[in-house]
Amino acid sequence: MEKGLKMKKEEILLIAKETEDLLVPFCSCGSLGLHGLSHLRRVAILSGRLASATGEDVEAAVVMGFLHDGARTDDKGGNGHAHDSAVLARQLLKMFYPHLEADRICDAIARHADGEVTGDTLTACLWDADRLELKRIGRTIDLDLLSTRVAKRLARARAARMVPVALEGRQSR
């Protein structure tokens, strides 16, 4: 995949489906509730969409998004899973994606749970996609921990859509 190409959502979904079909047998997180395959799928797709919007390599972003929690064995906090997932990613990148930047991808995966922001746009695609997913567990998204303007706009738009629902509930009491 060429860096800088804008892609349609359907094209990104196809890359994500192909990535999942290839890599799912190697992931240990499949049966987890919060960090299982549906989470990997959503982060992969959103990471790909952010990559398309920022001019990054969509394939690299999708693969990285799918692998970021691939070695997780539980839904507990901490960042040990990030290191384990980076080790798994390096092996799978060597086998199936030798054309992608393994060092850059694995570094992003290894550090995705550290609560940092980054100036590296590809890394930002993963970190922002994973943080935008925090809504699935009812957590508020901290805009200061998002690295791209695109993700910040998306977070603001999602928050704005939620406000009228909350106000409506208060009015009916």
State yes or no: pLDDT of 171 exceeds 50. Answer: no
Give domain status of residue 66, yes or no: yes
Give the per-residue pLDDT at 1.
Answer: 58
Q: Is 3 part of a structural domain of the chain? A: no
Tokens of 112: 């995705």
Domain that holds residue 85: 9-171
Residue with the bigger pLDDT between 65 and 35: it is: 65
- Domain with residue 166: its CATH number is 1.10.3210.10
Of the candidates 142, 123, 132, the one whose C-alpha atom is nearest the C-alpha of residue 60 is 123
Q: Has residue 16 been placed in a domain?
A: yes
Query: Does residue 64 lie in a domain region?
Result: yes
Alpha carbon distance 132, 139 (integer Å): 10
Structure confidence by residue, pLDDT tens digits, 125-164: 999 999 999 887 778 899 999 999 999 999 999 888 765 4
pLDDT score of 53 more than 80: yes
Does 1 map to a domain? no
Number of structural domains the chain divides into: 1
Q: CA torsion angle for 10, 15, 17, 19 (degrees, to 10)?
A: -170
Alpha helices in the chain (DSSP H): 9-23, 37-54, 58-67, 80-96, 102-110, 121-132, 149-171
